[in-house]
Structure formats: C-alpha cells, structure tokens
Amino acid sequence: MDFDKFEWLVKNSRLFMPCADRLGDPFEGTTPAGDIEWWLRRVKNANSNEQKRIIEHNRNIISQMAQKFRNHYYVSCWHVNEFENYAMWKCYTKDTNAVAVKTTFKTLRGILHSTVEIGLVRYIDYATGRLPSMNLFEHIMHKDIYYGYENEVRAVAAAFIAHGEWQTHFMQNHFEKENYKGFMVYAPQIDLKKLINAIVMHPEITSKDKENVVSLCSASGLPDPIVSRRKHEPVF
C-alpha cells in the first residue's frame, strides 16, 4: 500500500474495508458470463414449459439478489504469495513511497468480528466458467483468471446479514469516506500490534521516505521496517 494509506491505518487503528463496487474491478461481485450461459442452456434444454418457468424464476431471483448484494459486501484484500510480487508493487502503489504489511491468516481471522468471512479467492475464466454453487458469497469470492497473479485472500463483511449484535457493530464502524460522497467503508478497530508481523518497504524507496516509515513505526510500537531486497541489480 502507499504510505498515506499505511499512515491512516497506523494512526486510526482501523482496517479499511471498502464496498465491493469501489475495488477497481468492474466485474467484482458480478455473475460470470459463463454462468449466465449455463442458465440459458438449462432453459433451452428444459423438458417442459413448467420446468422452463422454474429455471427462469430461480435464475431471476439469484440475479436480482446478486445485483442487490454487490453494494453491501465490504472487502479487505491480501495476497498469499510466498515471495514479493513485482506486479503487486506496480499495480497497487503509486510510487516507491510504499510498504507491504505482513500478517498470518490465523491472526487476521482472530482480530476480526466472527461474522466476517475469510477465505481464498478462486480464479475462473469469466467468459466461459461458472460459479460452483448458488451461494451468493460465490460472487464475491471469485475473480476473473486475469487477476490470478494476486493470489488473494480476502475478508468479507456482509452488511445484509440479519444478526442483532453484528448489525450494531457494523453500523458503529460504517463510514462515508471524507471528500468522496457515496464511497462507503467498513473500518473496524483492530489491534495493530497483533495484526502486523512485519513491514517491508518498497525496494526502491528513497532515504527520506524510509525515514518517515521508520519514524512512524517506532512511534507506534510496530516492528522495525525493512527494505525489500527484491530490487534487481545486475551482477557482472
């Protein structure tokens, strides 16, 4: 993440989980084209008008619910590659003033509300593939194979879950982003010292920016950040 996002995380001790429609992927939370084609084939091959009616009804209900729920999923995205990934630095940071925060699946699970779901994203060809079940969480836990390099684990908070204690907690941590009308965020308070195991700075971070990161971490009691050693330099 860019330094300004890291600074916000540290100073607020809140995990920034934006609504799914703000993640940058226009297909996020939508139905793959391959899934739609599968339903159309089922309608076409129906043995009777009644069966056709039932299939169309089920498909319409799922489609309407998926569309309605898309703006009620709030997501925190992590990647589980064993090593740093050049594409991740390139795609998710604006410049070299950036860091990667390291944690574990178990730790992330432990600091979040029990109602927040966490799991590995599955990557399928959205042009031909289909979702494995009619569970609506499938829509938010699948992405196009185009994004497979992310190797993502995601935490998903669902605003629509009808649970009294969860609803109270969610509303207390539900905000509209400053100076960005309509940008909604679930930002639960977290224990950063438990969450963060290590902090890795961009391989090409400048000395001045490095000082700012080190100072922020020191003042907040976080692990000493290290500079990534993944910078490729020729050896002769």
**pLDDT (tens digit, 9 = 90+) per residue, 192-235?**
999 999 999 999 999 999 999 999 999 999 999 999 876 555 55
Closest CA to 191 of 6, 8, 14: 14
Q: How distant is the alpha carbon of residue 166 from its chain centre?
A: 20
Least confident of 17-31, 153-167, 192-206: 17-31
Distance CA 142, CA 25 (A): 12
Q: Please tell me the predicted confidence (pLDDT) of residue 201.
A: 96
58: containing domain: 3-227
pLDDT tens figures, 44-68: 999 999 999 999 998 888 888 888 8
For residue 218, tell me if it sits in a domain.
yes
- Order of strands across the sheet that contains 99-102: 99-102, 198-201, 226-227
User: Taking Cα atoms as reference points, which of 217, 212, 210 lies closest to residue 9?
Assistant: 217
Residue type, 87: A
Residue 233 domain flag: no
Q: What is the dihedral of CA 39, 28, 71, 157, to 10 degrees?
A: 110
Q: 194: how many CB neighbours lie within 10 A of its CB?
A: 12
Distance of CA 234 to the CA centre of its chain: 35
Domain assignment present for residue 22? The answer is yes
Residue 81 has pLDDT above 90, yes or no: no
Number of domains in the chain: 1
- Helices (H) and strands (E) counted in the chain, each on its own, are 9, 11
pLDDT value of residue 170:
94
Q: Which pLDDT belongs to residue 59?
A: 87
CA angle 76, 118, 34 (to 5 degrees): 85
177 pLDDT tier (thresholds 50, 70, 90): confident
Pull the structure tokens for residue 19. Answer: 């609504």
Alpha carbon separation from 129 to 9, 37, 57, 105, 145 (Å, rounded): 37, 9, 22, 28, 10
Q: Tell me, what's the pLDDT at 234? A: 53
Per-residue pLDDT for 22 more than 90? Answer: no
Does some domain include residue 235? no
Answer whether residue 152 is part of any domain: yes
